[in-house]
Chains A and B, each alone.
Chain A
Amino acid sequence: MEQTPPVVLLQAVQKSFPLHQGRDLQVLDIPQLAISVGSYTVVQGPSGSGKTTLLNLIAGITMPTSGHIRVSGTDMTSLPEPQRDRFRAAYIGYIFQTFNLLAPFTAVENVMLAMLFAQTIPKREQRQRAVEILSRLGLSTRLAHRPAQLSRGEQQRVAIARALANDPPVLLADEPCASLDAATAQVVLMALHAMCRESHKTVLIVAHDTAALEGADQVLEMRDINRVTGRPDGVDRV
């Protein structure tokens, strides 16, 4: 039996958002969640079930109301914000649902930005590394293009390249195929699988289409991990 500690560990994590008139809306109540190293996990659930909030908590973008979150052995919840940000830059690659590329910057520059904030890759090597990652994702002819000049599939691949820029051990993807057609979605999923198998990265995907389930080590339902029962649709972002 493997005794390696889980790369992501949530313990007694609760998250509430304040509403008007002093009331709170509880979104998450997770007694325990462990993701093992090098695994490919898919988290499923209807909209409004708190999937994005879960990813944000793991990434350290949001803090839980109570409980602890450990990533790669570090307790994120006890870190002060600037250190949490720095940690996130180096240890977590985040692929957003809406790509979130920065408009004034080219593909290469978008990837280099991630390296600028983490400051783990030496300055001299940053550009070359960005070019390498983008080329591996088939974007060698699109290096100097701005997001507005790229197709959706290309934009998503730049987003993936950006997430990989600092060689993080953990990759989080929030509905990575939601705005893609079937063929492009397939390419993206294959790339993510490759990250996992070849580079031994831990991949955690939030998705609600069946194509994403293929090849997953673990499929988690939100209703199984979250004690808070589903909320009505449309109250997703509080």
Chain B
Amino acid sequence: MSLYSIAWKYIWGRLLASALTALSVALGVSLILATFLLTRGIRASFIVGATDYSLLVGAKSNPTQLVLGTIFRMDVATPNMPYSVYEQLHDDVRVERAVPVALGDAYQGFRYVGTTIDYFAAAPWRRKTFAVAVGRLWDETPPEQPTYEALLGAEVAQRTGLRLGDAFYEGEEMAEYPLTVVGILRPTYSADDRTIFFSLASFWGMNEVARNAAVKPLTTVLVRPKRLSDLPNLHREFNVNPETQAVLPSAVLLTIFNLLSVAEEVLRFVLEAVVLVVLLYLFVALYSAMLERRREIATMRALGARRLTVLLIVLLEACFIALLGGLAGLVGGHGMAALGAHLLSQRGGLALAPFTVSALQPLLLAGVTLLGGGAGLLPAVLAYRTEVAENLAPLS
């Protein structure tokens, strides 16, 4: 027998009511945790996945579409520009690295990307790293010869079941030019996990129009200047050029981030309201329980329990319920976040890194327990102030 067991007995005695109260706490905690994990994950994935190259050059179109198509592999219309733009950039003395990218069709929903192996090359200024899990990169010598060797992103291999050496194609007209898997990448938690890479020559070889064209098409060139201070100049030059546009991908992403921030603000309001409602519910549940329990409290006092003791019992009840709800909410929150991440990756091409347990979870739990205690404060004071003699017998 201890104060803890007394508090627990009272919770257990009103099992349904206690369970409902704990459930509402769980719901609130789940929502808060899931929202936090998802927004943080989305921001992180934007940052990791997108910013190695400070400049994108593409055909004249919508800048946002260019960024979304190139970096997030979303299915947006991206007009072509001539291969000579890449050659020009490659030779430009201000450019450290230029990587050509050609976006094409897809296999079972996983986009085709024609590029050079520079795409995967490490550099001190790169945040993103690529590693081959099995196999190798495709052969690039000679560059004009299509090899139809494909490198698969991690999720592609997982979902399609393709393995090293497998040949595949999509659509009957592609039957003549099947691709062979020569390598599979490790996960990068970006859209590249859902992409199939091969050489530019293979890309043009597969496409009937490109095969016969004199000027080979490209979608984008990813550019890293030697000096960042040259960015505004490069940016302006390629925008002024009638054939091309230049985009700072971070600028586009910042606009998206601004929208995300607005959404987060709204969500925060909603969550605060939810927290308030849950606390109110907890308070009302405990308060009405106290009113019903006045006789038992008076009895405990008559048996020699001090005022502080009965106050502590009620506070413990509140904290227990909040703690239980918090624990359930942690599990539910992670579940909700996992579901959300899955949906995002399916529909939006956004891959989130798996959620880890950090200092956040215990902090959230402690916060919930404290708030629960706060909600129970007034009912506890009610117990404290119970007049013993009046409440010992039921009103006749």
Direct contact of A and B (CB under 8 A): yes
- List residues of A whose CB falls within 8 A of some B CB: 52-53, 56, 59, 61-62, 81-82, 85-90, 94, 96-98, 100, 102-105, 109, 112-118, 126, 162, 236-237
Q: Which of chain A's residues have a CB closer than 8 A to the CB of B300?
A: 102, 113, 117
Task: Report the minimum CB–CB distance from B99 to chain A (whole Å).
Answer: 71
B348-396: which have CB < 8 Å to A?
388-390, 392-396
B304: contacting residue among A53, A90, A96, CB under 8 A: A90
Contact B296 A102 (CB under 8 A): yes
- Which of B8-16, B147-155, B161-169 is the contact stretch? B8-16
- A61→B302 contact, CB < 8 A: yes
Which of B295, B302, B390 counts the most A-chain CB atoms under 10 A from its CB?
B302
Query: With A and B bound together, what is the CA distance between A61 and B308 in angstroms?
Result: 16
**Best-buried of A97, A98, A236 by chain B (most CB within 10 Å):** A98
Contact B1 A96, beta carbon cutoff 8 Å: no
Chain B residues with CB under 8 Å of A94's CB are: 302-303
Q: How far is it, in angstroms, between the C-alpha of A155 and the C-alpha of B396 when the chains are bound?
A: 20
Q: Does B224 contact A (CB under 8 A)?
A: no
CA–CA, A89 and B392, complex, Å: 16
**Most chain B beta-carbon neighbours within 10 Å: one of A97, A116, A236:** A116
Contact A82 B306 (CB under 8 A): yes
Contact present for B296 and A59 (CB under 8 Å): no
- Does B299 sit at the interface, judged by CB under 8 A? yes
Give Cα A115–Cα B6 distance, bound, in whole angstroms: 13
| A85–B306 touching, CB < 8 Å | yes
B387 to chain A: closest CB distance in Å?
9
Give chain B nearest CB distance to A127 CB in angstroms: 8
The reply to whether B296 and A103 contact each other, CB–CB distance below 8 Å, is yes
Contact A117 B307 (CB under 8 A): no
User: Assuming A61-B388, A104-B9, A105-B9, is B304 touching A114 (CB within 8 A)?
Assistant: yes
The reply to whether B299 and A102 form a contact with Cβ atoms under 8 Å apart is yes
Q: Which of B13, B305, B390 contacts A85 (CB 8 A)?
A: B305
Taking A62-B388, A96-B393 as known contacts, 4 extra A-B pairs with beta carbons closer than 8 A to each other, sorted by chain A number, are A85-B306, A86-B306, A100-B392, A112-B1
Expressed in whole angstroms, the Cα–Cα distance for A185 and B33 within the complex equals 60
Pick from B12, B299, B305, B306: contact of A96, CB under 8 Å: B299
In the docked arrangement, what's the CA distance between A52 and B392, Å? 11
Which residue of the partner chain A has the closest CB to B10? A104
**A-chain residues with CB within 8 Å of residue B394 when the two chains form the complex:** 98
Interface positions of B from 243 to 259, Cβ below 8 Å from A: none
Question: Within the complex, which residue of B6, B13, B309, B393 is in contact with A103, where a contact is CB–CB below 8 Å?
Answer: B13
Residues in A whose Cβ lies below 8 Å from that of B73: none
Q: Does the CB pair A89–B304 fall under 8 Å?
A: yes
A117 and B295 contacting across the interface, CB-CB below 8 Å: no
Q: Give the interface residue-count category, chain B.
A: 20 to 34
Give bound CA distance, A113 to B7, whole Å. Answer: 12
* B71 smallest CB distance to A (angstroms): 61
- Could you tell me the dominant secondary structure of chain A's interface residues? helix
Query: Are B296 and A81 in contact (CB-based, < 8 A)?
Result: no
**Is B108 close to A, CB under 8 A?**
no
Complex interface: chain A residues within 8 A of B306 (CB): 81-82, 85-86, 117
Given A53-B389, A100-B299, A104-B9, A109 and B1 contact (CB-CB distance below 8 Å): yes
Of chain B, the residue at the smallest CB distance from A94 is: B302
Q: A98 contacts B304, CB within 8 Å? A: no
B304 touches A117 (CB 8 A): yes
Q: A89-B304, A104-B9 are in contact. Are A116 and B393 (CB under 8 A)?
A: no
B194 sits at the interface (CB 8 A): no
**Does B301 sit within 8 A of A, measured CB to CB?**
yes
Q: Digit string of B89-110 for contact with A (CB within 8 Å is 1, else 0)?
A: 0000000000000000000000
B141 within 8 A of A: no
Contact with A along B33-46 (1 / 0, CB 8 A): 00000000000000
Selected contact of A162 from candidates B9, B303, B305, B389, CB within 8 Å: B303
Within 8 A of A (CB), among B1-39: 1-2, 6, 9-10, 12-13
Complex Cα–Cα for A109 and B10 (A): 13
**A237 contacts B390, CB within 8 Å?**
yes
Is the beta-carbon distance between B307 and A237 smaller than 8 angstroms?
A: no
Contact A113 B393 (CB under 8 A): no
List 23 A-B pairs, Cβ < 8 Å: A52-B389, A56-B389, A59-B302, A61-B302, A61-B388, A62-B389, A82-B308, A85-B307, A89-B305, A96-B302, A96-B393, A98-B394, A100-B296, A100-B302, A100-B392, A102-B296, A103-B296, A105-B9, A112-B1, A114-B303, A116-B1, A117-B305, A118-B304
B390 CB contacts on chain A under 8 angstroms: 237
The 10 closest A-B pairs by CB, nearest first: A89-B304, A104-B13, A117-B304, A100-B299, A104-B9, A112-B1, A117-B305, A116-B1, A82-B306, A85-B306
